[in-house]
Amino acid sequence: MNILVTGGAGYIGSHAVRKLHAAGHSPVVLDNLSYGHRGAVPNNVPFYQVDLKETDRIEKILREHRIDAVMHFAALISVGESVRQPLLYYRNNTAGAASLLEAMERVGVKRFVFSSTAATYGEPEETPIFETTKQQPINPYGRSKWFVEQILRDIVATDSKFGFVVFRYFNVAGASDEGDLGEDHQPETHLIPLVLFAAMGKRNNITVFGTDYPTPDGTCIRDYVHVNDLVAAHILGIETLSEGDARFYNLGIGRGYSVREILDTAKKVTGKEIPTVFGSRREGDPARLFANSDKVQKELGWQPQHTDIEEVIASAWQWHTAHPNGYKNS
């Protein structure tokens, strides 16, 4: 299939491009490079520096490359920023997706895979979180993605030839097996890279945000899924997508690790001391988020390969130590 990958120069999108290629598909990358890295896209993959809001240019790319399906990764992802600048999130994530979908409608591209988030559940009513757990996002980031889920439901209700898969991500981590693709966010806010930066001496310490949560060790629990496992689900999703599909899947491994457990494992993996400061809670952090992922396992036959957190952290460590400045000078 000819597949347009938006955000293909980003962390998850670049891993998807590689795996799509390996599975015999022809990816075409669209990225505005506001956060993505040109160096993360191989030279033999068509690349367009285009913003999601440029509907006409996207339409042209869809026609030119006879695109069969779209994987939509491009988005802003910082919860804190979304609280401070909600319109930025609605414009990029919600209006951006609407613009992309409009271009698809003009050309008649009917298959869509969308990166949603566990943040659409907000402070979940139950854990593990099922796809049927009530969605009540508590910040503009979560809502900006939730709105896109609703737009997709509306499209499929009026166009029986359209089909989509929505994946709600839990905490994505790790890097490529080859060690040449990995996480490089500027600024970085995610736990695992920051812990590894502290181990490398790239930062002085790591602050644990809150030790008084109602969890066994008082720190927050998250479900860490390896980026290649996540991408594998997308490929299964796109290859099985049919007309009229409106599918929603959680993507997590179904087991949570606390911040303290991540720190202990990182210490073991790196063999380094990790200077730690115990700080107060970060606003908007739910105590525990972990998935029930039976649905994606049953319906798509998805089997995560990296279920050992030690392996996930080792994979990230390999990337960060080989690329201490990310894609810069690498």
Measured distance CA(301)–CA(298) in Å, rounded = 5
Beta bridge partners, 72, equal: 6, 114
Give the footprint of ligand UFG on residues 217-256 (CB under 6 A): 220, 222
Which segment (115-123, 226-234, 246-254, 300-308) binds ligand UFG by CB under 6 A? Answer: 115-123
95 binds ligand UFG (CB under 6 A): no
Nearest to 70 by CA among 27, 32, 36: 27
The answer to whether 89 is a known catalytic residue is no
88 binds ligand UFG (CB under 6 A): no
Which segment (57-65, 87-95, 206-214, 310-318) binds ligand UFG by CB under 6 A? Answer: 206-214
Contact by Cβ (8 Å): 307, 256: no
Give the footprint of ligand UFG on residues 278-297 (CB under 6 A): 282, 285, 289
Contact by Cβ (8 Å): 99, 75: no
Measured distance CA(217)–CA(211) in Å, rounded = 7
Instruction: Using the minimum distance from each CB to ligand UFG, give the nearer residue, 41 or 287.
Output: 287
Distance of CA 128 to the CA centre of its chain: 19
Instruction: Using the minimum distance from each CB to ligand UFG, give the nearer residue, 160 or 278.
Output: 278
Single out the catalytic residue among 35, 48, 141, 249: 141
Of the residues 52, 74, 79, 253, which one makes contact with ligand UFG according to CB under 6 A? 79
Give the footprint of ligand UFG on residues 133-192 (CB under 6 A): 141, 171, 189-191
Distance of CA 288 to the CA centre of its chain: 18
Side by side, the strands of the sheet bearing 246-251 are 47-48, 26-30, 2-6, 69-72, 111-117, 163-169, 246-251
206 binds ligand UFG (CB under 6 A): yes
- Which residue's Cβ lies closest to ligand UFG? 220
Beta bridge partners, 241, equal: none
Please list the active-site residues.
141
Q: Which residues here bind ligand UFG, judged by CB under 6 A?
A: 77, 79, 117-119, 141, 171, 189-191, 194, 206-209, 220, 222, 259, 282, 285, 289
